[in-house]
Structure 1
Amino acid sequence: MPDQFDESPLNEQSSAGPSWWYAGDSTARKEERASRRIRRISLTDRLLSHPGRLSILYFLTLIALVTLLLLLPFATRGWVFTNFPVAFFTAVSALSTCGIPVVNTAEYWSAFGQVVILLSIQFGGLGVMTFASMVALGVSRRLKVSQRMLTASELGTNKLSEIKSVLSVVLGTSIIAEALTFVLLLPDLFHLNHGNVGRTLWEALFYAVSAYNNTGFTPDATGLHINRWGVGLPILLSAFVGTLGFPVVLNLVQCARRRMSPKRWTLHTKLTLTTTGILVLASLAWFLLVEWSNSALFPADDPGMKLRRALSAAVMPRSAGFDISWVPEVTDETKVLMSALMFIGAGSSSTAGGIRVTTFAVIVLICCASFTGHRDVVVFRRRLPRRIQMTAVSVMTACFALVLVGSVALMFVTGCDFVDAVFETCSAFSLGGYSVGVANAGNPACLFILAAAMIVGRLGPLTIAYAISRPMAPEPIRYPQENIIVG
């Protein structure tokens, strides 16, 4: 009888004791539950330890969800099934805050479809890395070091301790800017809609969100009311503020609150504002000098009206993409200039895209230092670290290669000329939202190429590289240095 209940490991198979059987089953279940808990924790840790992958996963999940919603028949006014390429392209265009439309937003999409697009613009405008960091905060109640480092790069701050406060300011800044734009748009839109309160509120909300997030989607069939300052000016100012980036806006607000002079601005703020001002003034001068007699851009002879439209044309092409009716009618020289402006884009951590104005400024400063024989790259009496210089060169080279490959691919699938292909690719990559007609709903290959450019432009080459890269291996050996001939 005692042998039946021998629970030793040597008697596992022969023992008939219920005590051993129960204990073994209980232990197995505990081990299984523990292994499941470990797997769950490991999955969370893996996601949080790779914020680049978390950002890509978040963005791709939103694309799949929005595409599915836009495929539903009640997302269109005619209750028809939208074909997949159009729904996918519209979802990517909205989430990336690019705004290139292949169908008329007001006439094709129903109220439900337009709400989906509006929410997509809002979530996309918050920034992939910013929102992913908020998700990480909600899951783990804290940011890990790797997450904070990548978020610091995305938000343009150098102090890891400031990231949590910056993340809380991002949402507040967006809401305040959009609310102010909404209020300023109400009077003129109420007049334009002949007293229709519901239509006025909807258009004001859509324009406010779309303008600050620098997206070219519009809630009416005619597009931006550029001839009315009551509508055009708030949208113009909101889009301009959105291009500066959260770090610049935060620094300006802090300095204004403390009554600090512009000399106390951060180097990032000074460089962003200076470069942005130069680009806007150069663009304004170009449109006034080169396109002065273009009736598509300047339909009126009034100099004041021409100045207003030139100012809008100088600011909007860098990121916003409103009022695209005149774009195909400009000269090829102007298309090249607009392509360059879109490629440069807006400020770092802004709602717009491109290589960013600070990247362009660093490239110019590197060239100036090289041509003048200086070893250090200095701006505003501050020396730029070598790491920043290498990052700027890497981003510039990778993005230029992307635009070149995308342009050639568009030429293959559409037969368009090189200028139009470069313009369309730059618009997609930099989230500019302008189009010269290359993006066509009847050409799925073209839509997929431009959608890929938007995804890379929204995520950013650094985020993608960080997501797929392996930990840096130590370099125990440094090889001898030898010069080569360049240039």
Structure 2
Amino acid sequence: MYKKALKWINASPPRTLLLGFSFIIFLGAVLLRLPLSTVDREPLSFVDALFTATSATCVTGLVLFDTGSHFSTFGHWVILMLIQIGGIGFMTMATLFALILRRRISLKERLILQESLNQGSIEGLVRLVRKVILYALALETVGALLFSARFAIDMPLGQAIYHGVFHSISIFNNAGFDLSGDFSSFSSYSTDLFMNVVSMVLIILGGFGFIVLADLFDLRHKRKFSLHTKVVLTVSGALILIGTLIIFIFEFTNTKSIGGDNFGHKLLVALFQSVTTRSGGVTTVDISEFRQATQFFIIILMFIGASPGSTGGGIKTTTFAVLVGAVLAMIRGKEDVVLFRLRLAQERVYKAVTVTLFCIGIVMLGTMILATTEDASFLKILFEATSAFGTVGLSMGLTGDLTTAGKLTIIFLMFIGRLGPLTLTYALGPKAGRPLYRHAEGKIIIG
């Protein structure tokens, strides 16, 4: 029995990833259950500890308790370590320790890394891991210094450094956990240009993905971007701009959100929400006070999410770009999907459609279950389900009122959202064999 289980785990990299993430979440839940993890020394229930550990490891940010006031310093560090491991990937961390110990990275480990980092081949993976670690630590360090300098104005230096480090790691990894207290997130800094800019830069860089970051830092040597980087930068920029405009217009006269503020403040809040809805998780206003049209638009942004190989979730910007490209190609009567004068293989288009339909199905299933178990409006439930699946962490206030069944559903959605629906399918499904024949071609009317 043991040998069969070991053979099943070792059969494919997706299964190793599945088990690896599961183990880290379970270990995190055990540590968060310790009385040492909470301020009042009262241990969490296992489901609550599992929920928090999953939210941290899957860099989501949905919380049942206020992180700043409920958890002790030990609890904060457990959450922070889970965020760091979940953000850059447990296989990346394992490879880092192997490199420190000067141990050779095996072919199997490279294949798992390839799956973890969503790469097309194993070539240059170890170099990429070094870059991932370097860029992550460098950006988190800069973010910590900037945050600490700002927090030092409002609190003692030691506490400011503590808050600076925590928020830098949390925000760069698009986790959304904060120590502000009373579930207020960054609402006290809604008009603070410095805090808004630093947070947005960290969210955007974390959401670009490490492949794009490597391209950006290596631009002076390469002199040009890859197609992947061009698509990510273009789609991300377009979504941020469109999101800002729509949120700004829809909420311009809403006195419950930004209607009573001056023009500059309205624009800053709209920009921040457009950035954070794509997987950031921190917020400067109460989203439950937004108009329903704005809330539904935020759901769309959360579903699209960040970019491949990043700390964010969703169907990813590149998937969205391929879908838009396919629609435009069909409208123009073209056979090929072309982005930046380069044709995409049909297999990429099929994969984009498959990922999108899988994700829609998972969000629909989670929403239906939550609509059965929770007493809340449909929009609030759909918002919570999409936020969990997109590993965003924004909430309209439903998280704290979830039933046990609701918590387990959200745990499932966060886990699938971080791991990826296709990775889970490959992990649990049988190994595909080589087809022995092809069926005759048939015709069907579409539209």
User: TM-score scaled to structure 1, two decimals?
Assistant: 0.85
1:231 aligns with 2:191: no
State the match for 2:42 in structure 1. Answer: 80
**1:374 is matched by which residue type in structure 2?**
K
Which structure is larger by alpha-carbon Rg, 1 or 2? 1
The equivalent position to 1:240 in structure 2, one of 201, 204, 210, is: 204
Find out whether 1:250 has 2:214 as its counterpart.
yes
Unmatched runs of 5 consecutive residues or more in structure 1: 1-38
Equivalent position of 2:76 in the other structure: 114
Structure 2 residue runs without a partner (length 5+): none
Contact in 2 for aligned 1:223/1:323 (Cα 8 Å)? yes
Give me the whole-angstrom Cα distance separating, in 1, the residues matched to 2:49 and 2:164.
Answer: 25
Question: Any residues of structure 2 matched to 1:346-385 within 5 Å, and which?
Answer: 346-385=306-345
Q: Residue 318 of structure 1 aligns to a residue in which SS? A: coil
1:432 aligns with 2:392: yes
Is 1:313 aligned to 2:273, yes or no? yes
Q: Deviations over 1:314-346 (max 9, x none)?
A: 101110111265111111111111111000001
Map 1:323-338 onto structure 2 (within 5 A): 323=283, 325-338=285-298
Q: Structure 1, residues 261-294: CA drift from partner, whole Å, max 9, x if none?
A: xxx2100001111111111111000111110122
Q: Deviations over 1:206-262 (max 9, x none)?
A: 110011001111012142123222322211111111010011110111113x271xx
Q: Is the 8 A contact 2:143 2:198 kept in 1?
A: yes
Percent identical: 30
Alignment CA distance shift 1:214-1:119 (3 Å): same
Aligned position for 1:33: none
CA apart distance, 1:416 = 2.0
Query: What residue is the counterpart of 1:28 in the other structure?
Result: none
2:105 to 142, 146, 151: 142
Other-structure match for 1:460: 420
Code of the residue aligned with 2:104 in structure 1: it is R
Matches within 5 A, 1:431-450: 431-441=391-401, 443-450=403-410
Residues 354 and 430, structure 1, Cα contact 8 Å, conserved in 2: yes
Q: Name the CA distance, whole Å, in 2 between partners of 1:453 and 1:297.
A: 29
What does the per-residue CA deviation read over 1:130-177, in whole Å, with 9 as the maximum and x for residues that have no partner?
Answer: 446668888982342x66456445535444322111111111111011
Q: Is the 8 A contact 1:76 1:109 kept in 2?
A: yes
Structure 1 position 443, deviation (Å):
1.5
Residue type at the aligned position of 1:232: N
The partner residue of 1:212 within 172, 175, 189 is 172
Distance 1:135 1:458 in 2: 23
Query: In the alignment, is the contact (CA less than 8 A) between 1:136 and 1:143 conserved in 2?
Result: no
136 and 405 in structure 1: CA distance in 2 versus 1, 3 angstrom threshold: farther
Q: In the TM superposition, what is the alpha-carbon distance from 1:370 to its structure 2 partner?
A: 1.6
**TM-aligned CA distance change 1:259 to 1:57, over 3 Å:** closer
- Mapped to 2, the partners of 1:407 and 1:468 lie a distance apart of 23
Q: Equivalent residue for 2:364?
A: 404
Q: Which whole-Å CA distance do the structure 1 matches of 2:445 and 2:115 have between them?
A: 34
Cα distance 1:393–1:72, how it changes in 2: closer, same or farther (>3 A)? same
* Match 2:355 to one of 395, 420, 424: 395
Per the alignment, residue 34 of structure 1 pairs with none
**CA positional deviation for 1:51:** 1.4
* Conservation of the 8 A alpha-carbon contact between 2:272 and 2:283: no
Aligned AA (1:401)? G
Query: Structure 2 vs 1, CA of residues 51 and 395 (structure 1 numbering), >3 Å: closer, same or farther?
Result: same
Change (3 A) 1:47 1:278: same
What root-mean-square deviation, in Å, do the aligned CA atoms of Structure 1 and Structure 2 show?
Answer: 2.3
Instruction: State the Cα distance separating 1:178 from its structure 2 match.
Output: 0.2
Whether the 8 Å contact between 1:189 and 1:231 is mirrored in structure 2 is no
